[in-house]
Amino acid sequence: MNLEEIVNSIEPADQQILGQAQEHTSRLVMPLRALGRLNEIGERICAIQRTLKPSVKSKAILVMAGDHGIVAQGVSAFPQEVTGEMVKTFLSGGAGINVLARQTGASVYVVDMGIIPDVVHHTGSSDTKGAGPGAEKKLIIRKIARGTKDFTHGPAMTKEEALKSIESGYEVASRLVQEGVELLGTGDMGIGNTTPSSAVGAVITGQSAKEMTGRGTGVDDETFARKSDIIESGISINAPDPKDAIDILSKVGGFEIGGTAGAILAAARFRKPVVIDGLISTAGALIAYTLCPAVADYMFAGHRSVEQGHRIMLEHIGLEPLLDLGMRLGEGTGGALAMHIIEAGVRVFREVATFDEAGVSESVA
């Protein structure tokens, strides 16, 4: 399927099933909606999966990795080589996302969307940190190019590369859901990637570069000020069309941002919930949302990052984060933690007895 066919095949979540789920919640043996957002989460999963017996037991996190030409402008506190080194750490099971994925029982798949080095392909290798079968990890190669170009000198990539990045992310996620994954999470790795993510956010939301820019890896005040100016300059030079997702992605985006957008489109098409992570994942979500607003029905915001632009991005899509823990690591870590909450909402919906089942009298108020 081409991108247009994918977008046209996505339908909103089922509102009739949502109503039936809400009716079921009203009969649970507790004061009406006493578990607040947990009740809402369970009902949303029903509407997404088109069933009153929702399940999110099988979980997978896609860590999209890419390098960025904009690093040449000194926007990161870390050298570009760290991208490849961190990919190796993901594969050895020692990164933050590996730890949190093991806790929630999610598999971790690292997707090389366009990092500079070639990393040895570890196919289904066992986790050296003692993960069970639910947390194996793999490296999937979908390298578009060896990093994007510096978008202060022209587009970050060609439109063909932008389209390919989305289609590659779609293909990888589609395969996972067809193999039985019920809950997807999106993560990222790429030194310098908060810069294109902030640029994507500024263009789509209409906010200024200054409002969208955060400190990323922890840059100092001088670099922080320069980073905002670089984003503003890149947007001015390339003049991306705010209504054209492919144009935006190609001019100021990143390969992993496109891959994330594709994964979200796949989740929506195959009627699976997807948990987005921080700034970079949400930049991908903005691309997917610009292509097809109906994907918002399928997305859960795992957390609110301390990156100041993240709040603006989430508000634009209409998502309320499940957690706010002062996190800014990326990798999919906030989404992995939020998977516990989503599974809790589903288990409440399925396992809490109704008043009739429990033989408890309902409120007369």
Any idea which residues carry the catalytic annotation? 331
What is the bridge-based pairing of β-strands 59-66 and 137-141? unpaired
Residues 149 and 70: their CA atoms lie apart, in Å, by 7
CB burial readout 222-247, b (16+ within 10 A) else e: ebeeebbebbbebbeebebeeeebbb
Length of the chain, in residues: 365
From the centroid of its chain, how far is CA 3?
Answer: 19
Residue 192 CA: distances (Å) to CA of 11, 215, 234:
35, 11, 14
Residue 289 CA: distances (Å) to CA of 179, 205, 286, 298, 317:
25, 11, 5, 11, 7
Give Cβ neighbours of residue 128 (< 8 Å, ≥ 6 apart): 92, 93, 94
What would the DSSP string read from start to end of 152-220?
TSS-SS-HHHHHHHHHHHHHHHHHHHHTT--EEEEEEE-TTTHHHHHHHHHHHH---HHHH---TTT--
Q: What is the DSSP letter of 296?
A: G
Sign of CA dihedral 226, 64, 91, 106: positive
Residues 240 and 94: their CA atoms lie apart, in Å, by 38
Give Cβ neighbours of residue 318 (< 8 Å, ≥ 6 apart): 296
Cα–Cα–Cα angle for 318, 205, 48, nearest 5°? 30
- CB count, 10 Å around CB of 124? 9
In terms of Cβ atoms closer than 10 Å to its own Cβ (0-12, 13-18, 19+), residue 358 is exposed
Cα–Cα–Cα angle for 91, 92, 98, nearest 5°? 75
Cα–Cα–Cα angle for 331, 333, 335, nearest 5°? 110
